[in-house]
Structure 1
Amino acid sequence: MSTFVLIHGAGDVGWYWHLVEAELRARGHDVVAPDLPCDDDTAGLVEYADAVVAAIGDRTDLVVVGQSLGGFIAPLVCARVPVDQLILVAPMIPAPGESPAEYWSHTGWDVHGDFDDWFYQDVPPELAAEARRHGRAQSEARLGEPSPLTAWPDVPTRVLICRDDRMFPPDYLRRVARERLGVVPDEIDGGHTPALSRPVELAGRLDAYVSIPVLIRTFFAAFASGDDLDERLGALRRAFLPGAIIVRTCGSEPEVYDVEGFIAPRRALLSGDGLTGFREWEVTGRTEVYGDVAQHFCTYAKSWTRDGAEHTGRGAKTMQFARTAAGWRLSAVAWDDER
């Protein structure tokens, strides 16, 4: 399981994440949600990042999540500690050396409206009132200072935008994500504060972002030469739903397998004589999640040696996933080899 490092936005506290934290812990994850010193005139982005790094301590398997202004702090944290994944939620997406104060003009957006209209339009009134009581004044004393970010961290990054966000409307954030990170963002319903308005959905999305890649790696790792073949194939069996189907096309009439019908001949091939050094790996891929279902489309490459001759190949796979009481599982796989 992962440790989620949840970074709140401007004028807020770690309490913002409390509903999401409970959901993630129920799914077996650890959570860190520190308070940033946002009301301290002596604190800038470096001190904000210091507070997060101190809260992490010696935890590992980190997934850093930055909300709104937290998007300025999250990449600074990733530059200081080993991180598996960076997720930006309804975020500001900084350029290297950019200050938060410059962000609006640099990205071509003029925020207008009132506080409640920006933040709490879809939050239950009692919860919104509690959020206001927890909130703190955001110091602007050092928000004009350039960010110490010199380059985007070499960490897999996802952007999750909210379709009803009035602070950062979807069209605006789609453009900024494309221009600054070259990514197509994922989307959920809701306004600017989904940790309060849609905590179950948001926690489910965060859980999927870390759980589904594990299943994908398990799939690719299973089909490789090596002494631990049975152990890897056992892990693959556990990754599938019992009734999952696997479809092979490869230029002919599709062949449809159940899990055992798929695994058995490949085990025989990988453990037999003549084939050595087989492996396959993902080249490009994208996962889309909606509620308790997800899909992953990827291209892949493979290489092997048969009877002393080296071979290579490429193809594409599509994988479907469903969330169960025991977590995410593979429900279907289909693939086609390049011809």
Structure 2
Amino acid sequence: MSDFLLIHGSCHGAWCWRDVIAALQAAGHHARAIDLPSHGADPTPIAQVTLDRYAEAILAAIEAPVTLVGHSMAGLPISAAAEKAPEKIARLIYLCAYAPRSGMSVASMRRAGPRQPLRDAIVIAPDRQSFTFDPALTADRLYHDCTEAARAFAASRLGPQPILPQEQPVTLTARYHSVPKHYIRCLQDRAIPPEYQAAMTEGWPDGTVSTLDASHSPFLSCPEALARRLIEVAA
């Protein structure tokens, strides 16, 4: 039996893992998700959110070592958490996420990609402290293989994404590198290009990278398949 802690990506919240948690629990595993600061039901003001606060929120939710899963931009917060307290993490799983490079931020990693499919989908707030996704483009970029019901579920819950934590670089040392890792590439991803996901994991050891034939949101489009993969990796 494994214990999973699931961390959402930009503009999302713990809500996006609903069906994956149900599938993991049905298979006999412990599984839960949290809202990162300022996301979902968390009341932290956007202006106070940093990458360090993301990492601290993750670690505060861990009592015994967990399999820590990060989606999309959460690749950097879960990595920062592993750098701070590797003893709390049995394994890191990156789900179509930014696989971190020390000294780089989410924003700099996004800009380093071969193409920018989200550029026209990001709407920056007037105060430039956060951004949202253009509702007219979210179905195509994030949920194109999801049911209409799943798209509506997500659209009603998406919220603003603080910009500051995405501009802050992560620093990684041997502490981070001591934690086992696995990367799940999504082959139909229209947010983080699949070829960039491959490039970010070039040189990873055999058996530490796998694929799902899914969009950027497999937690909604194929939650049972994703749960099975997470169980396999954690084992």
* TM-score after normalising by structure 1: 0.58
Structure-2 separation of matches of 1:168 and 1:144 = 17
5+ residue gaps, structure 2, are 40-45, 121-136
Higher relative contact order, structure no. (Cα contacts within 8 Å, ≥ 6 residues apart)? 2
| 1:5 partner SS | strand
**Which of 146, 149, 156 is the equivalent residue of 2:172?**
149
Q: Is the 8 A contact 2:66 2:91 kept in 1?
A: yes
1:164 equivalent to 2:170? Answer: no
- 1:148-184: CA deviation from partner (whole Å, max 9, x where unpaired): 43454311111101111111232221111116x5666
The structure with the greater share of residues assigned to strand is 1
Q: Is the 8 A contact 1:49 1:73 kept in 2?
A: yes
1:121 equivalent to 2:121? Answer: no
Partner residue, 1:34: 34
Identity percentage over the alignment? 31
For residues 1-339 of structure 1, the aligned pairs below 5 Å read: 1-38=1-38, 40-56=46-62, 58=63, 60-79=64-83, 80=85, 81-112=87-118, 114-150=137-173, 152-178=176-202, 181=204, 185-211=209-235
| CA distance 1:182–1:42, change in 2 (3 Å) | farther
Structure-1 separation of matches of 2:20 and 2:89 = 20
- 1:192-244: CA deviation from partner (whole Å, max 9, x where unpaired): 00000000000011111123xxxxxxxxxxxxxxxxxxxxxxxxxxxxxxxxx
Give how far 1:93 is off: 1.2
Give how far 1:41 is off: 2.1
Give how far 1:30 is off: 1.0
Structure-2 separation of matches of 1:107 and 1:165 = 13
Q: What is the one-letter code of the residue matched to 1:71?
A: G
Q: Is the 8 A contact 1:168 1:192 kept in 2?
A: yes
Structure-1 separation of matches of 2:95 and 2:26 = 21
RMSD: 1.9
Give how far 1:119 is off: 0.6
Q: Is the 8 A contact 2:115 2:193 kept in 1?
A: no
Structure-2 separation of matches of 1:7 and 1:142 = 15
| CA distance 1:82–1:55, change in 2 (3 Å) | closer
Give how far 1:33 is off: 0.5
Structure-1 separation of matches of 2:61 and 2:88 = 14
Give how far 1:26 is off: 1.1
Partner residue, 1:266: none
Give how far 1:123 is off: 1.1
Structure-2 separation of matches of 1:202 and 1:37 = 25
Q: Is the 8 A contact 1:90 1:162 kept in 2?
A: yes
Q: Which structure: larger Rg? A: 1
Indicate the larger mover: 74-83 or 156-165: 74-83
Structure-1 separation of matches of 2:214 and 2:232 = 18
Q: Is the 8 A contact 1:11 1:38 kept in 2?
A: no
Q: Is the 8 A contact 1:32 1:55 kept in 2?
A: no
